[in-house]
């Protein structure tokens, strides 16, 4: 059954409300992954020159940090290896949480009856055991997908660098009008490719937790759904973006008021208040991201009739 963007959004919200634990899990994992990334940065920064702050002037500190980098001491190499190990662990954890989350959302959407207006009880599938099982089963799929995605981002970055080089060379040879023409002519296809890459990643993630899927299959299906339902996909992402901007507008005065009230407070207290505000603001943002994930799962499954052919008892219910 083909669903509109609003129907997918309604179905995704119902799915998430039935499995509300996913929001809490994703909210907590965002702080865990951020802490691991910060921990990976800490040791190299200390060795390179974070411990130089407060010693000498800025020029001397920069020179000392550059000298330590050029030396490539064994301690620095060990710190860089530790940073890569911690960052790899954070990526694996992120992929594992994503696999468990999309596994639950996909199984819930498959269990519920087709259509947009369904009771939330039809979607209830969450259990700690199922979440752990989906995460363990599909974590490597999501890791490979992210490697493909960052490979595409690397190629896109190379194309942007080449475009900037052509724009500079054209401006030097033929003047500023040529540079402007090259800039405008290259920005449109590059911007379109960046948009397609971002939308494709969301759709591929939504399909990757399907039984029998793979990175290649989900990539093709994501491009296929994007080609057939481009308007619906853009509308879903646009609504999520507008909601996130509205939340930012709501929380901005609160952060400004807190900074004004605590202007003379100790640094530790100000940092604690800012961290609490960040935690409060990140929860509705996580909720928005999860609603979008549920809507994308509903959209991808509505464009995958083979799902219902393999489950005739669901399709005929």
Q: What is the pLDDT of residue 170?
A: 76
Q: How far apart are CA 220 and CA 238, in angstroms?
A: 23
Q: pLDDT tens per residue, the chain (317 residues)?
A: 678 888 899 999 999 999 999 999 999 999 999 999 888 888 777 766 555 554 555 565 566 556 665 565 666 777 788 888 889 999 999 999 999 999 999 999 888 877 767 788 889 999 999 999 999 999 999 999 999 999 999 999 898 888 888 888 877 777 777 778 878 887 888 888 999 999 999 999 999 998 888 899 999 999 999 998 989 999 999 999 999 999 888 888 877 777 777 777 777 777 787 888 888 888 999 999 999 999 999 999 888 765 544 444 333 33
Q: How far apart are CA 54 and CA 50, in angstroms?
A: 10
Contact indicator for 314, 114 with CB cutoff of 8 Å: yes
End-to-end CA distance of the chain: 13
Residue 59: CB atoms within 10 A of its CB come to 8
> Smallest Cα–Cα separation from 199: which of 295, 96, 93, 109?
295
Q: What is the pLDDT of residue 72?
A: 59
Q: What is the pLDDT of residue 5?
A: 87
pLDDT digits (tens, 9 = 90+) for 253-291: 877 777 777 777 777 777 787 888 888 888 999 999 999
pTM: 0.83
pLDDT digits (tens, 9 = 90+) for 293-309: 999 999 998 887 655 44
Contact indicator for 161, 190 with CB cutoff of 8 Å: no
């Amino acid at each position: 059954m083909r669903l509109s963007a609003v129907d997918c959004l309604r179905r995704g919200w119902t799915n998430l409300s039935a499995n509300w634990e996913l929001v809490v899990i994703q909210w907590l994992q965002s702080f865990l992954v951020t802490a691991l990334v910060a921990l990976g940065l800490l040791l190299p920064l200390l060795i390179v020159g974070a411990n130089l702050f407060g010693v000498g002037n800025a020029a001397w500190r920069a020179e000392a940090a550059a000298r330590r980098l050029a030396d490539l001491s064994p301690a620095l190499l060990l710190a860089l290896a530790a940073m890569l190990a911690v960052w790899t662990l954070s990526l694996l954890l992120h992929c594992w949480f994503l696999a468990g989350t999309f596994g639950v959302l996909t199984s819930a959407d498959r269990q519920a009856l087709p259509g947009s207006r369904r009771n939330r009880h039809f979607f209830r599938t969450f259990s700690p055991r199922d979440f752990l099982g989906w995460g363990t089963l599909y974590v490597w799929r999501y890791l490979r997908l992210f490697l493909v995605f960052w490979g595409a981002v690397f190629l896109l970055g190379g194309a942007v660098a080449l475009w900037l080089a052509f724009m500079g060379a054209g401006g030097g040879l033929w003047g500023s009008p040529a540079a402007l023409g090259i800039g405008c002519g290259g920005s449109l296809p590059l911007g379109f490719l960046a948009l397609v890459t971002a939308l494709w990643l969301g759709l591929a993630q939504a399909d990757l937790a399907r039984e029998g899927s793979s990175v290649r299959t989900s990539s093709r299906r994501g491009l296929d759904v994007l080609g057939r339902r481009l308007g619906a996909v853009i509308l879903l992402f646009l609504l999520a973006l507008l909601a996130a901007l509205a939340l930012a507008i709501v929380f901005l005065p609160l952060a400004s008021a807190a900074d004004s009230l605590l202007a003379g407070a100790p640094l530790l207290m100000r940092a604690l208040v800012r961290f609490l505000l960040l935690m409060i603001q990140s929860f509705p943002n996580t909720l928005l991201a999860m609603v979008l994930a549920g809507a994308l799962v509903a959209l991808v499954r509505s464009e995958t009739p083979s799902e219902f052919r393999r489950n005739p008892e669901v399709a005929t219910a």
